[in-house]
Amino acid sequence: MESPWDELALAFSRTSMFPFFDIAHYLVCVMALKHQPGAAAVAWKNPISSWFTAMLHCFGGGILSCILLAEPPLRFLANHTNILLASSIWYIIFFCPCDLVSQGYSFLPVQLLAAGMKEVTRTWKIVGGVTHANSYYKNGWLVMIAIGWARGAGGAMITNFERLVKGDWKPEGHEWLKMSYPSKVTLLGSVIFTFQHTKHLAISKHNLMFLYTIFIVATKVTMMITQTSTVTFAPFEDTLSRMLFGWQQQFSSCEKKSEAKSSYNGTGSLASKPVDDTSDKAKKKHTKKTE
């Protein structure tokens, strides 16, 4: 690569997230919270609970990575500036008269800009998580991947868990059983940056950050414009799963016999049938949507 590109990537990788990109991140997170059913009512009935949930939405990734590394989960409360920023955004969004912010946010360009800037913060979080985990476990690349993934996409898990504790949570919307697109792309980025950090990728960090950020911002914007929820990974995943689990057909064919033989599998498959049915339906729907 020639010099100007390098300079651009280097300057980009030195951009500070603090004022503007963090604001975009908090805006997207709190708007996502507000669009949950009943969130506005909760904000009126119990503002403290709503504020706490908003903080979880904004800082969930950091909290999860702190828990996974046995650091104080409350550390994010010590950063008063960001807390003040996120709290004021929560306050404006939920208690602005006539709901002006929501109406302004309902314009697509605003959403595109905010979502794009939020995706930029994702790259910074992944890199920070990978570097931070490396300071704990030298060459513990699995830990680095996990922490990078937790920082980048752990907020969804934390908020799902909080909704579970609160009682208003539906299992089919869970992150583990069905990885959402942000989780997948964050996992991919975490793997890439971990390999770059362990010198298995012959590319400088700032170039990788630049390229990865362009990739996730472009995909995110494309998805928002084309109204598609999951893209760009289906073929990749299919090939990968065919490579890894290529004998699915024979397997499922033998499954029948082995089930008939072993009582364990029998019970298992019997109990699992409703699950499979529902999941198959979900799959069909899913495929229809993606077509």
Instruction: Tell me which residues in 119-158 interact with a second copy (CB under 8 A).
Output: 136-137, 140, 142-143, 146-147
- How far, rounded to the nearest angstrom, does the alpha carbon of residue 182 sit from its chain's CA centroid? 4
Residue 37 engages a second copy in binding (rule: CB under 8 A) = yes
Of 3-11, 19-27, 224-232, 267-275: span binding a second copy (CB under 8 A): 267-275
Q: Which residues in 197-236 contact a second copy (CB under 8 A)? A: none
Residue 239 engages a second copy in binding (rule: CB under 8 A) = no
Q: Residues 42, 112, 191, 223: which binds a second copy (CB under 8 A)? A: 42
Please say whether the dihedral angle defined by the alpha carbons of residues 44, 48, 53 and 54, taken in this order, is positive or negative: positive
Token pair of 5 as six digits = 């590109």
Q: Residues 81, 88, 228, 241: which binds a second copy (CB under 8 A)? A: 241
Residue 98 engages a second copy in binding (rule: CB under 8 A) = yes
Q: Terminus-to-terminus CA distance in the chain, angstroms?
A: 38
The minimum distance between CB 71 and a second copy, in angstroms, equals 5
Written as one letter, the residue type at 123 is T
The minimum distance between CB 91 and a second copy, in angstroms, equals 8
Determine the Cα–Cα distance for residues 149 and 132; give it in Å rounded to an integer: 12
Q: Residues 10, 51, 83, 195: which binds a second copy (CB under 8 A)? A: 83
Residue 243 engages a second copy in binding (rule: CB under 8 A) = no
DSSP code for 38: T
> Nearer to a second copy by C-beta: 161 or 195?
161
The minimum distance between CB 9 and a second copy, in angstroms, equals 31
The minimum distance between CB 279 and a second copy, in angstroms, equals 6
DSSP code for 171: G
Determine the Cα–Cα distance for residues 102 and 150; give it in Å rounded to an integer: 29
**CA of 127: how far to CAs of 22, 140, 175, 215, in Å?**
16, 15, 22, 15
- Angle at CA 88, nearest 5°, toward 84 and 93? 150
Q: Which residues in 44-73 contact a second copy (CB under 8 A)? A: 44-49, 52, 66-73
Determine the Cα–Cα distance for residues 82 and 59; give it in Å rounded to an integer: 10
**CA of 63: how far to CAs of 31, 129, 149, in Å?**
20, 12, 12
Which residues, 6+ apart, have CB-to-CB distance to 76 below 8 Å?
55, 59, 62, 63, 66, 82, 83
Determine the Cα–Cα distance for residues 21 and 27; give it in Å rounded to an integer: 10
Tell me, by CB under 8 A, how many residues bind a second copy: 91
Q: Residues 229, 242, 264, 281: which binds a second copy (CB under 8 A)? A: 264
Residue 1 engages a second copy in binding (rule: CB under 8 A) = no
Q: Residues 4, 19, 38, 235: which binds a second copy (CB under 8 A)? A: 38
Of 6-14, 35-43, 117-125, 208-216: span binding a second copy (CB under 8 A): 35-43
The minimum distance between CB 248 and a second copy, in angstroms, equals 7
Of 20-28, 195-203, 217-225, 262-270: span binding a second copy (CB under 8 A): 262-270
Nearest to 55 by CA among 40, 24, 38, 33: 33
